[in-house]
Amino acid sequence: MQKIALEMTKNPRQKPLDQNNLGFGRYYTDHMFLMNYDEGQGWHSPRIVPYGPISLEPSAMCLHYAQEVFEGLKAYRAKDGSIRLFRPDRNMARLNISNERLCIPQIDEELALEALKKLVKIDQDWIPTAEGTSLYIRPFIFAVDPHVGVHPANHLIFCIILSPVGAYYPEGLNPVKIYVEENYVRAVKGGTGFAKTGGNYASSLKAQDEAAAAGYTQVLWLDGIERKYIEEVGTMNVFFVIDGEIVTPAIQGSILEGITRMSAMEILRSWGLQVHERPISIQELAQASDQGRLSEAFGTGTAAVISPIGELKWGDKLMVLNNGEIGQISQKLYDSLTGIQWGSLPDEFGWTVKL
Ligand code: COI
């Protein structure tokens, strides 16, 4: 494995003073990881350096054609003082899946994991300890060829930055209101919907903005062909409880295969609950809601954790779930997942990695 060079900062940054008011993605730690890719040399020069601006040519390809991928995971400071990561190997594996789709050369997952651990250890004093907080880890790769022609890049940068965060949604664990999007689509099968790439999020901004103006936290995307089947919510996968059966859209090429999604399914099944991955139409949801059979809905994501949904607005139809309050399954799942992540519950699945 290549050796990771280290340059410590001489100017430590001011840490946020109020851990209960971190928001999401507002603060960054003292250091970052960098590595370059140059054709002929492959990935080289892994190094941890002081956090700071990266200089790019105005013609850098990522700025024009969005050849970019990213990941999101978290480090937690457990009650026993240990630092824990949650299934980081899955993030690195998914980064390479996204790389493949975006014509970005594969990274060495072991090296990336090593770099990530080293970076978190160096900046460990930034891991917040207040309830509901963590250190968000953002690995990302972008094309830097100074070339305004469309082709896969020959020069790229892999970077990891760290950010102490609180809840992603200002609502915290209070149920969010979601707008079912009928005009815009996020992705179609054959596109990049399954990859974690900035373009997917850029194309969601307009719908997100309109939903926010109407008083909704996020949009629920429908499939891009029939505009009928549920896909995912802005920054999370989505689950529904219908007649006691837990359902979530099947992975079919246009949605992200969330790591929190797969963990949630494993936890729910370990309780003996039925979880089915299948197509779910918006009409089925509306009917179940009318008949009082839709008891809960929640989103899952690294940033969002488990986010209960209190209201779904589809055209003129308003579906209120569990009187707008967090449901039993959502609450229990949140408690179990975060218990494992923060080390207050035993990790029977072997998901946490202690540093
Ligand atoms: C995450 O949950 O880590 C994500 O990547 C969502 C992000 C766009 C905030």
Chain segment 284-318, per-residue pLDDT in tens = 999 999 999 999 999 999 988 999 999 999 999 99
Chain segment 101-160, per-residue pLDDT in tens = 999 999 999 999 999 999 999 999 999 999 889 999 999 999 999 999 999 999 999 999
Domain boundary among 100, 133, 165: 165
Residue 170 has pLDDT above 80, yes or no: no
The per-residue pLDDT of the chain, averaged, comes to 95
CB 153 within 8 A of CB 104: yes
**Ligand 1 atom nearest to CA at 73:** 3
Distance CA 186, CA 321 (A): 25
167: closest CA among 302, 15, 342? 302
**Cα(97) to centroid of ligand 1, in Å?**
16
Would you say residue 269 lies in a domain?
Answer: yes
CB 120 within 8 A of CB 1: no
177: closest CA among 331, 307, 286, 328? 307
pLDDT average, residue stretch 49-78: 97
| Residue of the CA atom closest to atom 8 of ligand 1 | 235
Question: What b/e sequence results for 124-159 when a residue is b if at least 16 CB atoms lie within 10 Å of its CB, and e otherwise?
Answer: eebbbeeebbbbbbbbbbbbbbebeeeeebebbbbe
Q: Check whether residue 336 and residue 193 sit in a common domain.
A: yes
Would you say residue 270 lies in a domain?
Answer: yes
**Ligand 1 atom nearest to CA at 260:** 2
Would you say residue 355 lies in a domain?
Answer: no
Would you say residue 349 lies in a domain?
Answer: no
249 CB within 6 A, ligand 1? no
Using a pLDDT cut of 70, give the percent of the chain over it: 100
| Residue of the CA atom closest to atom 3 of ligand 1 | 72
Residue 223 has pLDDT above 80, yes or no: yes
Q: What is the CATH number of the domain that holds 192?
A: 3.20.10.10
Residue 220 has pLDDT above 80, yes or no: yes
Would you say residue 151 lies in a domain?
Answer: yes
Q: What is the CATH number of the domain that holds 21?
A: 3.30.470.10
Q: Check whether residue 206 and residue 149 sit in a common domain.
A: no
302 CB within 6 A, ligand 1? yes
Would you say residue 25 lies in a domain?
Answer: yes
237 CB within 6 A, ligand 1? no
**Ligand 1 atom nearest to CA at 258:** 2
Residue 201 host element (H or E) = helix 198-202
**Domain of 265, in residue numbers:** 176-342
301 CB within 6 A, ligand 1? yes
pLDDT at 347: 94
Distance CA 111, CA 113 (A): 5
**Cα(168) to centroid of ligand 1, in Å?**
9
Residue 271 has pLDDT above 90, yes or no: yes
**Ligand 1 atom nearest to CA at 24:** 9
pTM: 0.95
